[in-house]
Amino acid sequence: MICVKKKNTNEVKDILHNKTWGGGGHYCHNIELLEEVKDGPYKIRNILKNRGKMAFYVVYDESEPLIIAPIFAKNKIVTVAGTDEFFDYVDLFYRMDVEKGCLKDAFASLMGFFRSHGNSVVRWNYIPEESISREFLLESKCKFKPIDNTEISFLKYEDYLSMLSKSTKQNLRTAENRLKRENKTFKLLSSLCEPLPDEILQQCIDIYCERQREKYGKGLFNRLMIKTFNYSTEMLRKRKGIIMALIIDENVAAFMFGYINDVRKSYEVPKLAISEKYAFYSPGMILVNRSIQLFADMTDIRVLDLCRGTEQYKIKMGGKNYHTYNCTIEL
């Protein structure tokens, strides 16, 4: 018999530890990140945005857990949890060692559970293209809105460079030559190799906060939300992710903040920010190029996943488009 039970975070951690779970390896399946959404300072922001409190729901077949669903529910609306500004993938946890038919029945039971508890709609953004969730939803004739994302694939660094356009390679040479000509030192730091110094970490946070203030305004309320109740700021502060930082004259000029996907051998980057002070030197291009060189030469990472957006610099640096999907499910 299939049933759905609400579980606390520690219970979910035990369930994840004792069974084999899958879902594509995306960072939305990092329980520590979801715990921060549910129990960290960010929960205040969720309440202010009228999402309600987050909870974990586990679908069981008898005593066997099949699906774990991180959920917000309020005003008859269920939202599959992540955060709009940080999670570029959002999905459920599925057992890897269970037949697809059983998971399909469990998924239908989960939707039925939400319906029986008075909810009328499920909102679900950024479903991975390869997700079994999308497969189940396609069978129910759910309508999807594709969201543009960009990733850069590579094998050897030399091969990556050779596939860039002539103008992009020239722009990279010009950017680095400009730094050398002005006697500026520059280097790539990565927390893949060792923890970044506190001063460098704080500079990353400051750059991110400044870019957010430029985007959303510099009022007292916005400053408080960005510095204290912003999920990205909190994850940076707690070092819950991998930072790649371009340093010019001992200062952060640009940085990426993301997560390793061991399944896809990718580095998924929900956040990239550039210091306006060093914008003249094209630090974003240098950061992407030098990071790909490090990944290709020193790791098994073969995809730099720049996630949402198709900004021109991503395409010029060899990026290719792919999609995640938003959908609204009428219960």
Structure tokens at 92: 């459920």
* Confidence at residue 193, expressed as pLDDT on a 0 to 100 scale: 86
**Structurally, what CATH architecture does the domain formed by 2-142 represent?**
3-Layer(aba) Sandwich (3.40)
* Helices assigned H by DSSP within 55-165: 100-116, 132-139, 157-163
Residues 75-100: pLDDT tens digits?
A: 999 999 987 779 999 999 999 999 99
* Confidence at residue 211, expressed as pLDDT on a 0 to 100 scale: 82
Q: List, in sequence order, every residue forming a beta bridge with 266; answer none if it has no partner.
A: 261, 303
Residue 268 neighbours by CB under 8 Å, 6+ apart: 26, 27, 88, 89, 258, 259, 260, 261, 305, 307
Nearest CA to 245 out of 314, 188, 185, 313 is that of: 188
* Confidence at residue 119, expressed as pLDDT on a 0 to 100 scale: 95
Nearest CA to 169 out of 280, 286, 308, 56 is that of: 286
Q: ∠ CA(142), CA(1), CA(118), 5° rounding?
A: 50
* Confidence at residue 230, expressed as pLDDT on a 0 to 100 scale: 77
Residue 156 neighbours by CB under 8 Å, 6+ apart: 296
Domain 150-323 is in which class? alpha beta
Residue 330 neighbours by CB under 8 Å, 6+ apart: 120, 121
**Is 71 in a helix, a strand, or coil?**
strand
Asked whether the beta carbons of 160 and 296 are under 8 A apart, the reply is: yes
Alpha carbon distance 58, 7 (integer Å): 7
* Confidence at residue 329, expressed as pLDDT on a 0 to 100 scale: 94
Alpha carbon distance 255, 232 (integer Å): 13
Q: ∠ CA(130), CA(2), CA(111), 5° rounding?
A: 50
DSSP characters over 194-220: SPPPHHHHHHHHHHHHHHHHHHH--SH
Q: In which residue ranges of the chain is CATH 3.40.630.30 found?
A: 150-323
* Confidence at residue 217, expressed as pLDDT on a 0 to 100 scale: 58
Low-confidence ranges of the chain (pLDDT < 70): 41-50, 214-229
Alpha carbon distance 177, 262 (integer Å): 35
How many alpha carbons lie under 13 Å from residue 258 in its C-beta half-sphere?
27
Asked whether the beta carbons of 39 and 25 are under 8 A apart, the reply is: no
pTM: 0.93
Asked whether the beta carbons of 93 and 110 are under 8 A apart, the reply is: no
* Confidence at residue 140, expressed as pLDDT on a 0 to 100 scale: 84
Alpha carbon distance 102, 77 (integer Å): 26
